[in-house]
Amino acid sequence: MEPPPLDPSRTVIFTADDFGLSPALNGAVALAHRQGLLRCASLMVTGPAAPQALALSRDLPELCLGVHLTLIQGRSVLPRLAVLHLVDSQRRFADNPVQVGWRYYWQPGLYPEIRRELAAQIEAALAPGLKVWFLNGHVNLHLHPRIFPIVVELAREYGIPAVRLAREDWRTALSLDFRNPTSKIAQGLIFAWLSRRARRLARAASLIYNDHLFGLLNDGRMTEDYLLGLVPHLQPGVTEIYLHPALYPDQELYRWAPQYQRQEELGALLSPRLPEALAASGVGVTDFREMSWRG
C-alpha cells in the first residue's frame, strides 16, 4: 500500500538546543544531522564547547543554524563592565527563571545592556562567516514581554528571518505523559499568552515563525515513543520539536539538567520508525531556512 502524499499544510522542524554546551551534545547534533531527522541547531555562543560547535557548523553547510540567546544560566559574551547589572564577577547570569523574569520586567534600566549583549551573541555566531536563520532563547526567555521586542529589532537589523514561538498544546502533552500536570498546564497557558503577543510583533516585522511547538512541557524526555505518539496529533501549520540530545553522559550537561534523557532523545532522532510514521501520516520535514525561501 502506497503511503499518503505529503500534506503541504503539515510540516515539522526538528531542532537541537544548547549547541555548544558540551562536546557530547555537539557530537549528537552532527550525528543526528548526518544520519537522522535533525535539520536545525540553536547555538549557545558562550557555551564551553562553542568553538567546536562553530567548527562543526562550517563542516555541515546544510545544518540550519540559529542563535540560542542566553540571558540566564550561562555567561555573557561581553566583558563584565559592559553588562555590569546583568552578570556576576565571573560574567555569569543568574540561574532562577522566575527571579530573572521579574527582574527583567521591572527594571527597564537593564534593557540597553540586554540589547548590547544579545547583539554581541548574534555577532559571535556571524563572525566565522556563518548564516544565522533563526533566533530563540535559553529557557525560552526570548519571549519575555520586555525582551521579545528587542529580539525582533535585532532579527531585522541582522537579517535573520525567523524566530521561535512556544505555543504548545498542553492537552496533547498530558495525553502522552501525565507527569506534573499542574506545571504543564500552567506553562502551557503562560507560553500560549506570550506567544500570542510575540506573534503579532513578529508578523508586523515580517518575520517567519513556527505555528506550534513541542519540547517545552516534556523537556528532556522527547523519546522515540513520545515522538511516535505525537505524530498523529500534529496540526496544520509548522510544528517545531526541540530536543537536547547527547552521545554519552557528560558532567556539564548533567550539572544543568540531571533528569534529561539525552541519549534517548538522540535515539529518537536516529530512529527509522519516526520518519516512517511521519511519511505514513503525510507530514513533511522542513527547517527555518526552507521556510524563508518559500516566503
| Digit-coded pLDDT (tens) for 32-83 | 999 999 999 999 999 999 999 999 999 999 999 999 999 999 999 999 999 9
Whether the CB-CB separation of 42 and 287 falls below 8 Å is answered with no
C-alpha cell at 111: 534593557
pLDDT confidence tier of residue 9, bands split at 50, 70 and 90: confident
| CA distance readout (Å), 122 to 42, 67, 133, 186, 264 | 11, 7, 11, 31, 30
Closest CA to 43 of 208, 149, 152, 160: 160
Whether the CB-CB separation of 68 and 125 falls below 8 Å is answered with no
> Does pLDDT of 2 surpass 90?
no
Question: 3-state class of 209 per DSSP?
Answer: strand
The pLDDT of residue 4: 52
CA distance 92 to 55: 24
Question: 3-state class of 243 per DSSP?
Answer: strand
The pLDDT of residue 5: 53
pLDDT tens for 192-225 read: 999 999 999 999 999 999 999 999 999 999 999 9
pLDDT confidence tier of residue 293, bands split at 50, 70 and 90: confident
The pLDDT of residue 26: 98
Whether the CB-CB separation of 166 and 143 falls below 8 Å is answered with yes
Prediction pTM value: 0.94
The pLDDT of residue 43: 98
For the chain, strand residue ranges (E) read: 10-19, 40-43, 64-69, 134-137, 162-163, 208-209, 212-214, 237-243, 284-285
| Sole residue written with cell 547534533 | 29
pLDDT above 70 covers a percentage of the chain that reads: 97
The pLDDT of residue 1: 45
The pLDDT of residue 294: 82
What's the mean pLDDT in 234-248?
A: 97
C-alpha cell at 106: 521591572
CA distance 231 to 37: 14
Closest CA to 43 of 21, 24, 28, 27: 21
C-alpha cell at 54: 562553530
CA distance 232 to 235: 9
CATH of 10-294, one of 3.20.20.370, 1.10.1030.10, 3.40.50.970, 3.40.50.1980: 3.20.20.370
Half-sphere exposure at residue 233, Cβ-oriented, CA atoms within 13 angstroms? 18
Question: 3-state class of 45 per DSSP?
Answer: coil
The mean predicted confidence, pLDDT, of the chain is 95
The pLDDT of residue 6: 54
| CA distance readout (Å), 109 to 30, 87, 166, 174 | 40, 14, 27, 39
| CA distance readout (Å), 4 to 8, 273, 278 | 12, 16, 10
C-alpha cell at 83: 553588562
> Does pLDDT of 103 surpass 90?
yes
CA distance 294 to 8: 12
What's the mean pLDDT in 148-161?
A: 98
Count other Cβ atoms within 10 Å, centred on residue 76: 23
Closest CA to 70 of 55, 87, 84: 87
